[in-house]
Structure 1
Amino acid sequence: MEGSRHRGGRSVTPPEDRVPLRQKVGLGAGGLAAFFGYAGVSTLAYPVYNMTLGVSAAAVGVALLVPRLWDAVSDPLMGRITDNAHTRWGRRRPFVMLGAPLMGLLFVAIWYAPPAWSDNAQLAWFIAAQLLFFTAYTVFAVPFGAMSYEMTPDHHERTRVMAFLAFFHKIGELLSGWMLPLAALLGVAIVGAAVVPAPGEQQRIPIEGVHAMAWIVGLVFLAGFGVLPALAVRGGSRAAPAAVAAAGPKVKLVEGLRAAAGNAAFLLLVGVIVLNTLSGVLATGIDQYLLVYYMSDGNQADGLVQKGLLTTGYGVVGFASIPLISWYATRFGKKQALYAVYGLMAVGGVAKWFVFTPGHPRVELFGLSLDPVILIDPLLCGPMWVAVKILLASMMADVCDEDELRHGQRREGLFGAVFSWLEKTVVSVAYLGTGLALAATGFEVAKGAAQSDATFTGMRLFLAGAPTATALLAIAVLRFYPLTAERADATRATLEARRGRG
């Protein structure tokens, strides 16, 4: 097999390397479950445990970080298990099928901390339920990520496969922004009437609505969509043939981690995802507080509607960006595409200072008062999230080929596990950073909209500064990334020749 053919100076994917549409869609549907798995908890943690139950923001941030200590053990261990598994259904599918329904049920349990309990008891429940949930998530997500890396051996077809994942990821992002408004509506429907706060108290989401919304997310998006990759995607692939994987030596945990730590291309991708996630999640956490307490005078319902509008904007821009980014990366290269979107994000970071401020003209639509100016934010920052989802995953698949070239083993599971743990850890650290940033600015949830001007100014500086700085740093890091399309094609040709001799 000669690998990608070239036409007009560009590599062209051979027909035999193309992944069938059914498998791309099935894999992409699993991306919806993966999104709600790692983002759903962090998205709901502060609104439910801080805004609704009244637990301190800093304590919630610490609680989000605790499960990452367990993940540091469970994720690489799961990577080793799935890399060494050889069943009649393949190395990945049985774990995906098992993990999806488990994490769906355990996601629901996270939000059932009794409101009458003390803050410490509620935190203990939150941490314990998270530990169980993220164990199930590891069983699902690590094999699922490895499955996506080994769908095809072609450098550019990998980008197209990841575009399907990005499409469903954007659906998840679009829907996740409406989880809290949905919880509020369901709560009103279940309770029977809107809960009117006493004078001086804030309007809070009925906890019954949170429970109902969690059941929908758990059963439909985590369990339901999560099992689809196991049904649609066959075990093994031309990128990681089952026979080659089975014939090779067993993957050893310490040896694999050492190899990952010594892989320069992998470490550079890790650096990019760390910068990207820290920036984005910090902004996501703080923008929600600004929308509620700064731009909506403490009205949770109004602020969360604005958050839903903002998330919808990110979803629409993301959908529109998927074909453009896939085309651009195929035409000019994955690294060049990342340069472009990070440059746009740096501009968007500066724009946040002017976007997230009150006083913009409002538009009345379906009885809702909407601030259209906030849609400038997704126009500038939205393409980056799609590009990262498509291109970093595609580049990770190239890194796995480089690893086999150097060490003679297929270790998608182990590399994916390290990557998954880092992503979850950075998300948790960023949300902890949100809590610490809120504390540093002097924010107190009990004050509602009556925060000082200095507090709101500090929050806006965090919101604007984080994406601007991290985008520029990501561009600097990417300059050293070594894997090009030509090098990927050469690596693949060497691997297939080696396998043929075996």
Structure 2
Amino acid sequence: MGTAQQDKVPFYEKSALGVGALAAFFGYAGVSILAYPVYNMMLGVSAAWIGVALMIPRLWDAITDPVMGKISDNFHSRLGRRKPFIVGGAISMGILFALLWHVPTGWSDQLKITYFIVMQLLYFTAYTVFSVPYNALTYEMTPDYNERTRVMAFCAFFHKTGELLGGWMLPIATALGIWLVADAQELNMSGVQAMGWIVGVVIMLGIGSMPGLIVKERFKKKTQVQQKVKLWDSIKGSCSSPAFLILVAIIVLNTLSGVLAMGIDQYLLVYFMNNGDMAAGLIQKGLLTSGYGIVGFASIPVITWLAGKFGKKGSLFFVYGLMVFGGIMKWFIFTPGHPIFYIGKVAIDPIILIDPLLCGPMWVAVKIMLASMMADICDEDELKHDQRREGMFSAVFSWIEKMVVSLAYLGTGFALALAHFNPELGGAQAPETFTRMRLFLAGAPALTAIFAIVALFFYPITAKRAANTRQQLEDRRGTV
């Protein structure tokens, strides 16, 4: 079915909504990118305490995310339900992000980690105020099954842009520190603090406000007459939706396998493929990361076309099948002995670029498709409960995703411990250690992709069913 003209979202609105994903990426990932280099390497705080400090906000999110979802669903103003919170959250998030890195260096380790925890709680509260209404807004942009996918493709593009830019935060902070402190030759607090204000003001405050200032809300008037959304009823309603639970299972599987593989591959590149040569291994890791970025950008139009041609489930079946093959191929890709060519003194292993070609498309497809499928689920929820509760779905989904990411980072350390990896041995690890690490790297993505394919077989919403749901909604409450 083609998309009716009135269901199409204008390019400028797609763009304004999409750039919000750039702010959302830095809003969540920015802290984890800088936490260990700043608080451990520069300020000397125990890495174990930093890990605990990074987990504490996830417990706080379990309260604030659903509460924010309820507030956003029930809020009414001349500007809408979502937009005032998006702008207010972006402003407070940007300022608090900058202040995270202004801890006094003369304080004791206990005071430093206390400052970090308190500022994180304030900061992630502001992030919740921004992100929950923002995600809810993406779900309600259009009633059209295929246009939703195209809208989410814009968000995926800017999210992928954030991933590429995020890798430059530390190098730029180092360069700023050298410029601000003439005798400094490495990362220092002046550079970090300058980077904090640049990211906070330009990306979070400035760019993050654009969805709230430019994008239109479809349900601003319709929801003014609906019954109040209740917190516990909404959580139960979300978790009683089979389609929603299937998406939750998929994101849990993806995140766990992705973060595990992301940690293990770097160790194999350094210690197994380059015999402990950290410089050579990290160069190849940078090449691999760039490959994922390029493949991610190139995959966006392909995934969008596949979804229009074969449906959302069909496109996911394709990329997960590719992921199963890619997981198996990791066993052969991440091994020494490949042909090497040199650019100057830099050794390049082109075989490792097969990895992003096989596994990269899945990450873009999930970013696009799961958000688009969430919008379809919100329609079915309205048909069943006669309420628009995008905020609650956004809150529950967001918290689960953030919690799994935090747990997955712990899982990387657990996997290394099970493999009996000893950093003091460098490249002279026992052969069985590398074998176990390669099994983790290859097995995690392949097995989780198989489980995701199985889960998708039970996902009930098709294009035909979504169109029928929309027709019933419009017969009941009119076109919105």
Structure 1 length-normalised TM: 0.87
Question: 3-state DSSP class of the match of 2:85?
Answer: helix
Q: Secondary structure at the match of 1:152?
A: coil
* 1:218 corresponds to: 200
Corresponding position of 1:273: 251
Task: State whether structure 2 residue 7 is matched by structure 1 residue 34.
Answer: no
Shift in CA distance, 367/191, structure 1 to aligned 2, threshold 3 Å: farther
Deviations 1:141-183 (A, max 9, x none): 0000011000000111000100111111111122223333434
- Structure 1 residue 316, shift from structure 2 partner: 1.0
For the pair 1:392 / 2:382, whether they are aligned, the reply is no
Match of 1:277, as an amino acid?
A: T
Aligned to 1:243: 221
3-state SS of paired residue (1:227): helix
* Amino acid paired to 2:416: L
**Alignment CA distance shift 1:438-1:212 (3 Å):** farther
2:206 alignment partner AA: G
Cα distance 1:232–1:133, how it changes in 2: closer, same or farther (>3 A)?
same
The answer on 1:449 being equivalent to 2:426 is yes
Indicate the percent of aligned positions where both proteins have the same amino acid. 61
* Cα gap change, 1:366 to 1:93, in 2 (>3 Å): farther
**How many residues end up aligned between the 2 structures?**
479
> Post-superposition shift, 1:378?
1.2
* Other-structure match for 1:21: 11
Q: Which residue of 2 aligns with 1:201?
A: none
Q: Bigger CA drift: 43-52 or 89-98?
A: 43-52
1 CA distance for matches of 2:165 and 2:344? 19
> What CA distance in whole angstroms lies between the structure 2 residues aligned with 1:306 and 1:213?
26
Q: Which runs of 5+ in 2 are unaligned?
A: none
Q: Equivalences for 1:3-22 in 2 at 5 Å?
A: 11-22=1-12
| Selected match of 2:331 from 349, 353, 356 | 353
Aligned equivalents of 1:451, 1:126: Cα separation in 2: 37
Residue 339 (1) aligns with residue 321 (2)? no
The alignment status of 1:324 with 2:321, answered yes or no, reads no
Maintained 8 Å contact 2:169/2:195 = yes
Q: Provide Cα deviations, 1:354-406, integer angstroms capped at 9, x if missing partner.
A: 33345655555587554433322211111001100110000000000000000
The 3 A distance-change label for structure 1 pair 101 and 288 is farther
Q: Quick one: distance in 1 between partners of 2:425 and 2:243?
A: 46
Residue equivalent to 1:313: 291
- Contact 1:61–1:431 at 8 Å: present in 2 too? no
Q: Which residue of 2 aligns with 1:232?
A: 214
Q: Is the 8 A contact 2:152 2:372 kept in 1?
A: yes
* 1:349 CA displacement: 1.8
Deviations 1:295-335 (A, max 9, x none): 56666665554433322211111111111111111111101
Equivalent runs, 1:114-153 vs 2, <5 Å: 121-153=111-143
The letter for the 2-side match of 1:107 is F
Distance 1:73 1:130 in 2: 15
Contact 1:78 1:138 survives alignment (8 Å): yes
**Aligned counterpart, 1:6:** none
Seen in structure 2, the aligned counterparts of structure 1 residues 501 and 366 have a Cα distance that, compared at 3 Å, is closer
Say which of 396, 408, 433 aligns to 1:418: 396
* Cα distance in 2, alignment partners of residues 451 and 206 from structure 1: 33
Quick one: distance in 2 between partners of 1:125 and 1:299? 37
The one-letter amino acid of 1:170's match is: K
Answer whether contact 1:58 1:432 (CA < 8 A) is retained: no
Encode CA deviations 1:104-163: one digit per residue, 9 max, x unaligned.
232234445566766655543433332222111101000000110000001110001001
Q: CA RMSD in A?
A: 2.8
Q: 1:95 aligns with which of 78, 85, 107?
A: 85
Between the aligned partners of 1:109 and 1:304, the Cα distance in structure 2 is 31
Change (3 A) 1:373 1:108: farther
- Looking at structure 1, the residues matched to 20 and 98 of structure 2 have their Cα atoms a distance apart, in angstroms, of 19
